[in-house]
Structure 1
Amino acid sequence: MILAALAVAFAGLIGGLTGFGASLVGTPLLLLIGLPLPQVVVINLIATMITRLAVLHRERNHIDWRRVAVLGAASLPGAAAGALTVHWLSPHDLRIMAGTVVVLSGLRLLLRPTRQAHPATAVKQTAAGLLGGYLSTTTSLNGAPPAVLLASAKVPPRTFVGDLAGYFVVTNCLSLILLAAAGHLDTAGLGTRLPVLVVAALAGNIVGGRLIGRVPRAVFDRAIVGLIVASGVVTMISA
């Protein structure tokens, strides 16, 4: 329990700073501690959704609400597909799949750095939302696709964090509802531990949020790419 709380708190700190890293960091750490993947998915979805509500309010003046709406709407069919097919794949296969997607996303940014921003078109937003939705209900690693999209568009850090907060609130809520409807919402054994983990995530998120704007843009961009690649590798290793 203590290790899980520390892992979630650290993940919350990274999530508060980068806007999307909580699940990417929390998933491999919780898996290494020994929690089963279905429970990790529930913990990540709930903790991220709750912590992002505060961020959504804080960054409301920096958010592109139209982009958030497209990403959130596009995530619905992807999340539904994930909820319906999650039992077809073993946890091992899901970890390999998720880790591969995350690593490829990070390498795309690492190996093809651009000085010029690539507009986040509606087509790109739809594709990112669909893939993120599928990863949401299968592994909870739904942050990488929209993060790659926004990083390529080189949006300001506070918009980056705010847009992802809106996306997570919508997508995670839909994912929890769909998993419950499909009978795959595994809360057995969590009980009183879940509120403790959520509080730990909130504490870490507050600390991380206070660092936004104090980190130079170049460092912020490198941290995003490094976090994506490292989390994907750890996720595959933990399989």
Structure 2
Amino acid sequence: MTTAGWLLLALASALVGLAKGGLAMVGMLAVPILSLAMSPVQAAGVLLPVYVVSDIFGLIAYRRHWDRRVLATLLPGSIAGIALGWATASLVDDAAVGGIVGVIGASFAALTLLRPPAPDAAPGRPGWTRGTGWGLITGYTSFVSHSGAPPYQIYVQPLRLGKETYAGTVTVYFAVVNAVKLIPYAALGQLGAQNLGKAAAMIPVAALSVGAGVWLVRRIPQRAFYLFITWALLAVSLKLIADAVM
């Protein structure tokens, strides 16, 4: 791989680390950035081990800050979504799926920015029907293109968790999702020695970036934190739409 390719891989790995530190939406930029140096399919394969290693550091950082109810309602549907993605891997148009996710995410972000919840409004509650539905979409889109964050956020953001609980819950959730994804990715030949070697070289970058993400989350006021993740959702969703129509 060229010097430029290694630099792009380091940048993508840093974004993954920041995501696992609690700034979840920025991680979605990793695959598009690395796709400037290789095919999107290879980029997803190279980055999955980086995601998994970063998950370990994120789990250590947020081991006391996560919501069991959210995970319980999301994970069954998410595992089914991963299985669906694996079963239809040869039929899927990654860009089209990303475009659909982008439209959903951009619509939600725009509504949230235009009509924010009243300060005294009661937080939502996790529910099995909504959790299973959004979990299915999140698992599927995460398998196809590591773009599960928008549907996840649509389900979880209205619950108005504390910022560290939000960050910890998204970290634990995607740690489980990424671990499950290792099985189909290995079966599809995406975890060869070459890809694993590139990912291993990025462990220090990812680890430092997880620490930076945790540091930022703990210092950003909660209102500013939710405003950031909403704008980040809008930006990433528009990028997914642009990729789908180009």
Secondary structure, aligned partner of 2:218: coil
Amino acid at match of 1:209: V
CA contact (8 A) 1:106 1:228 kept: yes
- Tell me whether 88-97 or 123-132 shows the greater mean CA deviation: 88-97
- Counterparts in 2 of 1:175 and 1:43: CA distance versus 1, 3 Å: same
Aligned to 1:49: 52
| Runs (5+) with no aligned partner, structure 1 | none
Distance in 2 (CA, whole Å) between partners of 1:107 and 1:49 is 31
Matched, 1:138 2:149: no
Shift of 1:186: 5.8
* 1:96 alignment partner in structure 2: 99
1:39 to 31, 39, 42: 42
AA of the residue aligned to 1:3 = L
* Aligned AA (2:158): S
Question: After superposition, where does 1:112-151 map in structure 2 within 5 Å?
Answer: 112-115=115-118, 116=121, 117-151=123-157
Label 1:178 to 1:101 Cα distance change in 2 as closer, same or farther (>3 A): farther
The code of the aligned residue for 1:127 comes to G
* Structure 1 outlier segments of 4+, above 6 Å: none
Where structure 2 has 5 or more consecutive residues not aligned to the other structure, the ranges are: 1-5
| Secondary structure of residue in 2 paired with 1:192 | helix
Tell me how far 1:221 sits from its aligned partner.
Answer: 0.9
Q: Answer whether contact 2:32 2:40 (CA < 8 A) is retained.
A: no
* Equivalent residue letter for 2:49: I
- Code of the residue aligned with 1:9 in structure 2: it is A
Displacement after TM superposition at 1:2 (Å): 1.3
With normalisation by structure 1, the TM-score equals: 0.87
Q: Which one-letter code corresponds to 1:168 in the other structure? A: F
Asked if the contact 2:46/2:196 (under 8 Å) is kept, the reply is: no
Contact 2:45–2:191 under 8 Å retained in 1 = yes
Q: Which moved more, 1:64-73 or 1:100-109?
A: 100-109
Q: C-alpha separation between the residues in 2 aligned to 1:122 and 1:161?
A: 21
Mapping for residues 159-238 of structure 1, pairs under 5 Å: 159-181=165-187, 183=188, 185=190, 187=192, 189-238=194-243
TM-score by length of 2: 0.84
Deviates more, 1:59-68 or 1:219-228: 59-68
Moved more, 144-153 or 93-102: 93-102
CA RMSD of aligned residues (A): 2.3
Letter in 2 for 1:162: G
Instruction: Tell me the SS of whatever aligns to 2:21.
Output: helix
Q: CA deviation at 1:21?
A: 2.1
The Cα shift of 1:69 comes to 3.1
Cα distance between partner residues in 2 of 1:86 and 1:111: 37
Larger radius of gyration: 2
Take 2:25 and 2:46, find their aligned partners in 1: how far apart are those partners?
A: 14
**CA displacement at 1:79 relative to structure 2:** 0.7
Structure 2 CA distance, aligned partners of 1:10 and 1:58? 17
Q: Partner letter of residue 117 of structure 2? A: T
